[in-house]
C-alpha cells in the first residue's frame, strides 16, 4: 500500500526544468535514500512530497490523513516550538496529538470522570500512541542527539543554528509521523549522534525518505535508493553500496549498447550511400527504412567532476621526517577556559591522521592552534624544517576576498585571467560560474572555492576541518581519491566515516578534555570504544608512560594496528591490558605428558598442513624483508611502519608453526 505516489511530476523555475516526468511511490514502512549531485532537485522533490510546494505538472497522491514530517537543511520553527520555556518542552510538543489526549485525560481525572467511557477510549488511544513512554522518548532523543542536561533547560531561541536543526530532528522523531522526510540530517551531528540516529531509524516502523551525501549513513538506514540525474528519477534496490554497483553496471551496459547502436547506424548510413551511388534504389529505400527505425541510445550524463590530481599542494618542498611534535599541549581560546590537553602528539611526513570526537570537544580548537590561528595555552609545539601549511577552515574568520570567484583567486596569487579560469575549471567553476558573486554561492560552491584557494598555495601539510561539508558524493569521492594519493601530511577533522575509513591511517581522539593518539584506523577505534576504551583512561596511560605519573592503572604502550589473522577488537584490547605484575620468581610449569603417537594418515595430513604454513609464511617473510630494503619503503614512514608491523606478526606466526612441527615430530608413528 502506497503512502505517496508521484505520477509525471514536473517542476520548473522560470525556463529551467528541475524535475521532468518523475514517477515513484513510497510504501508503508519503506526506507528510501535519495542521491544525486548538488542542484539535482532533491530538496525540491522533498518539498513537493511534503505538500509545501506544488508541481507544475503531474499529480501527487497521498493517503488520507497521512502525517508527514520534514526536516529541512535549515530548521524553521513554529510558534509552539519557539515559545516553549525550555528545549525539553519544545521537543515534547512535537507529539501534539499525544499531549492533547493527555490534557483531556487529566481534565477528566480532575472532574472525577476517570470511570467514564470517554476516559477509557482516551486511555486506549493514549496507549496506542505509546504515550506512557513519551517523556522517556524525549530524553532518549535529546541525549542521543548530543544535548547536555544544561542545554535541555535553555530556551529554544538561545540555541545556535546547528543546535536548532538537531532539536528539530529530535522533535520529529518524538512526533513519529507516518512518513519522515529528512534533508541532509547528518550535517550537524557528531559521530556518536549519527550512530544513535541510525539505530533509531532502523527501529522505527514508519516510512522514511532521506536525501543525503553520507554514504555510510545510507548504507545503515535505507533499503532502496532513488537517484536523481538529468531531471529524471531511477529507483534501485538495496543500500547505497548495492546502488553504486548496480549503477556502474547499468551505465556500462548502456554505454556498450549505445556504441553498438551507433555502429549499426553508421553501417546503415554507409549502405544507403553505397546503394545510392550504385542506383539500386530498392535496396537504398530498404536500408533507409531500417535507418529510420534506429534511434540513438542516450547515455546518462555523469556531469563534470572535481579534478584534484594536480591541483592541491604540489609545489611545496619535501618536509622533514617529523612534521610536528607537541608535548604537554594545552589548547583553548585566549581569556577562556582550557578546552583540551594532550601528553604527546607527533605527526610524521606522509601520515594521514584523522581528528575525531564529539561536537564541542575541541577538535577545531586543536587544528586552529596548530595552524597558528590561536595561541598555545601551555606546553610546546614544534615543527620540522620545510613545513608549509595549507588550512581549510570550517568557518572562515574573515570573508573570502574579492567580489567574484575569479577575483577571489586573483587576490591570492598573481596570474592571468585565462590561467585562473583554467584552474577554476578543475573545481567546476566553468564559463560564467567564474563570475558568480562570492556572497551568493551555495554551500557546495563555497566549499569548492575554499578547496581552490587552499590548493593554489604551496603546502606539504594539509589541515582540513570538515572538508566534505556541503560536497555531493562525486565531489567527495574525488577528494578522497586525491587525499589517498597526495604525498602531503594530512590532519583531518571529520565526521564523515567513509572519509576516515578510506583516508586516515590513525587517529587523534579529542574527548573529555583530553587529546590522545590512537594507533589504528576508524573501525578499530569504534571496536575499541565498544570494548571499553576511553580517552580519559588512555590519557592517564600516556601520562604514566612519558612522565611516570598517574594512577598506574592499565599502563601500556599505545595500541598497535592488528596484523593479519588478528581481530581488531582483540588486538586493541590486548594492547591496552596491564603488564604482568612483578613478584617472586615462579617455579617452572609442569611439562604436559607426552602425547600418544598418531596414525600414519593423521600424521601425513597434519604434516602437510604445517609444511604448507611454513612455506607460505617463509615466502611472505622474504617478500617483507625485500620490501624493507626498498628505498621507496624506507622513505615512506607510514609504509615502513606497516611493513615492519606485518613482519613482526609473520615472525610470530612462523615461530608458532615451527613449534607445531616439532611437536608433531614427537608424535610421528
Q: What is the pLDDT of residue 558?
A: 35
**Whether the Cβ atoms of residue 156 and residue 164 lie closer than 8 Å to each other:** yes
Cell of 385: 624544517
Q: What is the mean pLDDT of the chain?
A: 82
pLDDT at 556 over 70: no
More confident of the two residues 295 and 65: 65
pLDDT at 193 over 70: yes
pLDDT at 503 over 70: yes
- pLDDT band at 638; cut points 50, 70, 90: low
**Whether the Cβ atoms of residue 521 and residue 504 lie closer than 8 Å to each other:** yes
Written as one string, the DSSP assignment of 592-654 is PPPPPPPPHHHHHHHHHHHHHHHHHHHHHHHHHHHHHH-HHHHH-HHHHHHHHHHHHHHHHHH
Q: For residue 274, how many C-alpha atoms fall within 13 Å in the half-sphere facing its CB?
A: 9
Residues 75 and 144 in one domain: yes
Residues 229 and 252 in one domain: no
- pLDDT band at 436; cut points 50, 70, 90: confident
Domain that holds residue 255: 245-293
Residue 650 CA to residue 653 CA, distance in Å, equals: 5
**Whether the Cβ atoms of residue 88 and residue 152 lie closer than 8 Å to each other:** yes
List, in sequence order, every residue forming a beta bridge with 492; answer none if it has no partner.
354, 464
CATH of the domain at 643: 1.10.287
Residue 393 CA to residue 203 CA, distance in Å, equals: 36
Residues 60 and 20 in one domain: yes
Average pLDDT rounded to a whole number, residues 639-651: 77
Sign of CA dihedral 77, 81, 84, 90: negative
Q: What is the pLDDT of residue 237?
A: 93
Q: Which residue among 518, 549, 584 closes a domain?
A: 518
**Whether the Cβ atoms of residue 178 and residue 3 lie closer than 8 Å to each other:** yes
Q: Which residue among 485, 518, 551 closes a domain?
A: 518
More confident of the two residues 628 and 479: 479
CATH of the domain at 461: 3.40.50.300
Strand pairing class (489-493; 352-356): parallel
Q: Which residue among 518, 545, 566 closes a domain?
A: 518
Residue 560 domain-assigned (yes or no): no
pLDDT at 570 over 60: no
Residues 217 and 332 in one domain: no
Q: What is the pLDDT of residue 180?
A: 94
Q: What is the pLDDT of residue 338?
A: 92
- pLDDT band at 573; cut points 50, 70, 90: very low
Residues 223 and 282 in one domain: no
Sign of CA dihedral 41, 42, 47, 50: positive
Residues 338 and 457 in one domain: yes
Residue 513 domain-assigned (yes or no): yes
pLDDT at 326 over 90: yes
Q: What is the pLDDT of residue 595?
A: 60
Residues 203 and 326 in one domain: no
**Domain count within the chain:** 4
Which residues have a Cβ under 8 Å from the Cβ of 424 and sit 6 or more positions away?
405, 406, 409, 430, 433, 434, 452
Query: What percent of the chain is predicted at pLDDT more than 70?
Result: 86
Residues 255 and 393 in one domain: no
Average pLDDT rounded to a whole number, residues 463-476: 86
Residue from 21, 82, 18 nearest 47 by CA: 18
pLDDT at 537 over 50: yes
Residue 109 domain-assigned (yes or no): no
Q: What is the pLDDT of residue 304?
A: 56
* End-to-end alpha carbon distance in the chain: 71
Average pLDDT rounded to a whole number, residues 337-351: 92
Alpha-carbon distances of 666 from 400, 605, 654, 655, 661, rounded to whole Å:
77, 15, 19, 17, 9
Q: What is the pLDDT of residue 415?
A: 80
pLDDT at 606 over 70: yes
To which H or E segment does residue 426 belong? none
**Whether the Cβ atoms of residue 234 and residue 207 lie closer than 8 Å to each other:** no
User: Among 158-167, 295-304, 418-427, 485-494, which range has the highest average pLDDT?
Assistant: 485-494
Average pLDDT rounded to a whole number, residues 83-88: 87
- pLDDT band at 299; cut points 50, 70, 90: low
Residues 477 and 617 in one domain: no
- pLDDT band at 578; cut points 50, 70, 90: very low
Residues 223 and 350 in one domain: no
DSSP-derived secondary structure letter, 311:
T
Residue 574 domain-assigned (yes or no): no
Residue 586 CA to residue 663 CA, distance in Å, equals: 25
pLDDT at 522 over 70: yes
Residue 393 domain-assigned (yes or no): yes
**Whether the Cβ atoms of residue 247 and residue 235 lie closer than 8 Å to each other:** no
- pLDDT band at 183; cut points 50, 70, 90: very high
More confident of the two residues 661 and 417: 417
- pLDDT band at 276; cut points 50, 70, 90: confident
Average pLDDT rounded to a whole number, residues 456-484: 85
Q: Per-residue b/e over 565-588, b at no fewer than 16 CB within 10 Å?
A: eeebbebbbebbeeeeeeeeeeee
Residue 240 domain-assigned (yes or no): yes
Residue 39 CA to residue 26 CA, distance in Å, equals: 23
Interval 118-148: pLDDT, tens? 888 888 888 888 888 888 899 999 989 888 8
- pLDDT band at 575; cut points 50, 70, 90: very low
Average pLDDT rounded to a whole number, residues 235-260: 88
Residues 255 and 392 in one domain: no
**Whether the Cβ atoms of residue 516 and residue 535 lie closer than 8 Å to each other:** yes
Q: What is the pLDDT of residue 504?
A: 93
Q: What is the pLDDT of residue 318?
A: 81
Residue 399 domain-assigned (yes or no): yes
Kindly report the backbone phi and psi dihedral angles of residue 9, in degrees, each rounded to the nearest multiple of 5, phi listed first.
-70, 130
- pLDDT band at 235; cut points 50, 70, 90: very high
Residues 331 and 266 in one domain: no
Q: Per-residue b/e over 291-317, b at no fewer than 16 CB within 10 Å?
A: eeeeeeeeeeeeeeebebeebbbeebe
Q: What is the pLDDT of residue 590?
A: 40
Q: What is the pLDDT of residue 208?
A: 95
Q: What is the pLDDT of residue 363?
A: 93
Report the 10 Å Cβ neighbour count for 57: 12
- pLDDT band at 202; cut points 50, 70, 90: very high
- pLDDT band at 161; cut points 50, 70, 90: confident
Q: Which single residue is written with the C-alpha cell 608433531?
A: 664
Strand pairing class (2-13; 489-493): unpaired
Residue 403 domain-assigned (yes or no): yes
Residue 132 CA to residue 98 CA, distance in Å, equals: 9
More confident of the two residues 345 and 155: 345
Amino acid at each position: 500500500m502506497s503512502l505517496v505516489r508521484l505520477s509525471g511530476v514536473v517542476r520548473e523555475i522560470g525556463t529551467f526544468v528541475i524535475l521532468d516526468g518523475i514517477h515513484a511511490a513510497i510504501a508503508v514502512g519503506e526506507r528510501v535514500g535519495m542521491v544525486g549531485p548538488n542542484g539535482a532537485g532533491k530538496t525540491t522533490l522533498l518539498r513537493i512530497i511534503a505538500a509545501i510546494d506544488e508541481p507544475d505538472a503531474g499529480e501527487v497522491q497521498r493517503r488520507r490523513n497521512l502525517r508527514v514530517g520534514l526536516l529541512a537543511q535549515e530548521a524553521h520553527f513554529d510558534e509552539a516550538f519557539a515559545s516553549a520555556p525550555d528545549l525539553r518542552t519544545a521537543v515534547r510538543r512535537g507529539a501534539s496529538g499525544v499531549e492533547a489526549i493527555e490534557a483531556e485525560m487529566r481534565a477528566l481525572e480532575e472532574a472525577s470522570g476517570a470511570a467514564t467511557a470517554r476516559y477509557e477510549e482516551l486511555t486506549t488511544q493514549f496507549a496506542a500512541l505509546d504515550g506512557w513512554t513519551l517523556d522517556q522518548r524525549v530524553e532518549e532523543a535529546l541525549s542521543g542527539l548530543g544535548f547536555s542536561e544544561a542545554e535541555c533547560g535553555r530556551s529554544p531561541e538561545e540555541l545556535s543554528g546547528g543546535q536548532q536543526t538537531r532539536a528539530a530532528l529530535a522533535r520529529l522523531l518524538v512526533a513519529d509521523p507516518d512518513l519522515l522526510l529528512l534533508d541532509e540530517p547528518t550535517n550537524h551531528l557528531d559521530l556518536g549522534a549519527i550512530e544513535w540516529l541510525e539505530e533509531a531509524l532502523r527501529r522505527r516502523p514508519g516510512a522514511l525518505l532521506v536525501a543525503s551525501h553520507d554514504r555510510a549513513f545510507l548504507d545503515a538506514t535505507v533499503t532502496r535508493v532513488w537517484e536523481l540525474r538529468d531531471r529524471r528519477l531511477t529507483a534501485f534496490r538495496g543500500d547505497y553500496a548495492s546502488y553504486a554497483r548496480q549503477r556502474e553496471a547499468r551505465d556500462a551496459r548502456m554505454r556498450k549498447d549505445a556504441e553498438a547502436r551507433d555502429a549499426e547506424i553508421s553501417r546503415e548510413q554507409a549502405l544507403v550511400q553505397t546503394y545510392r551511388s550504385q542506383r539500386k534504389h530498392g535496396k537504398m529505400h530498404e536500408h533507409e527504412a531500417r535507418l529510420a527505425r534506429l534511434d540513438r541510445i542516450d547515455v546518462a550524463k555523469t556531469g563534470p567532476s572535481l579534478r584534484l590530481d594536480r591541483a592541491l599542494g604540489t609545489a611545496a618542498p619535501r618536509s622533514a621526517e617529523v612534521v610536528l611534535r607537541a608535548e604537554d599541549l594545552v589548547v583553548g581560546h585566549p581569556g577562556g577556559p582550557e578546552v583540551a590537553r594532550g601528553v604527546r602528539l607527533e605527526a610524521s611526513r606522509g601520515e594521514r591522521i584523522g581528528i575525531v570526537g564529539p561536537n564541542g570537544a575541541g577538535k577545531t580548537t586543536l587544528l586552529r592552534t596548530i595552524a597558528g590561528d590561536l595561541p598555545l595555552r601551555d606546553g610546546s609545539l614544534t615543527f620540522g624544517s620545510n613545513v608549509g601549511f595549507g588550512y581549510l577552515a570550517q568557518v572562515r574568520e574573515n570573508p573570502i576576498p574579492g567580489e567574484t570567484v575569479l577575483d577571489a583567486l586573483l587576490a591570492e596569487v598573481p596570474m592571468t585571467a585565462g590561467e585562473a579560469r583554467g584552474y577554476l575549471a578543475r573545481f567546476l567553476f566553468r564559463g560564467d560560474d567564474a563570475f558568480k558573486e562570492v556572497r551568493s554561492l551555495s554551500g557546495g560552491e563555497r566549499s569548492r572555492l575554499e578547496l581552490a584557494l587552499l590548493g593554489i598555495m604551496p603546502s606539504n601539510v594539509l589541515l582540513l576541518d570538515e572538508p566534505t561539508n556541503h560536497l555531493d558524493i562525486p565531489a567527495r569521492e574525488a577528494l578522497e581519491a586525491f587525499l589517498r594519493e597526495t604525498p602531503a601530511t594530512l590532519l583531518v577533522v571529520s565526521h564523515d566515516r567513509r572519509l576516515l575509513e578510506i583516508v586516515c591511517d590513525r587517529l587523534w581522539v579529542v574527548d573529555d578534555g583530553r587529546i590522545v593518539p590512537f594507533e589504528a584506523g576508524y573501525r578499530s577505534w569504534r571496536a575499541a570504544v565498544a570494548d571499553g576504551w576511553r580517552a580519559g583512561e588512555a590519557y592517564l596511560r600516556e601520562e604514566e608512560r612519558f612522565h611516570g605519573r598517574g594512577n598506574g592503572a592499565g599502563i601500556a604502550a599505545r595500541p598497535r594496528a592488528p596484523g593479519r589473522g588478528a581481530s581488531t577488537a582483540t588486538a586493541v584490547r590486548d594492547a591496552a591490558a596491564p603488564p604482568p605484575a612483578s613478584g617472586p620468581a615462579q617455579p617452572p610449569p609442569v611439562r604436559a605428558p607426552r602425547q600418544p603417537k598418531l596414525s600414519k594418515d593423521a600424521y601425513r595430513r597434519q604434516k602437510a598442513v604445517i609444511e604448507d604454513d611454513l612455506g607460505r609464511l617463509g615466502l611472505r617473510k622474504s617478500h617483507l624483508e625485500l620490501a624493507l630494503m626498498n628505498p621507496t619503503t624506507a622513505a615512506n614512514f607510514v609504509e615502513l611502519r606497516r611493513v615492519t608491523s606485518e613482519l613482526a606478526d609473520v615472525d610470530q606466526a612462523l615461530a608458532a608453526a615451527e613449534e607445531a612441527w616439532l611437536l608433531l615430530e614427537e608424535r610421528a608413528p
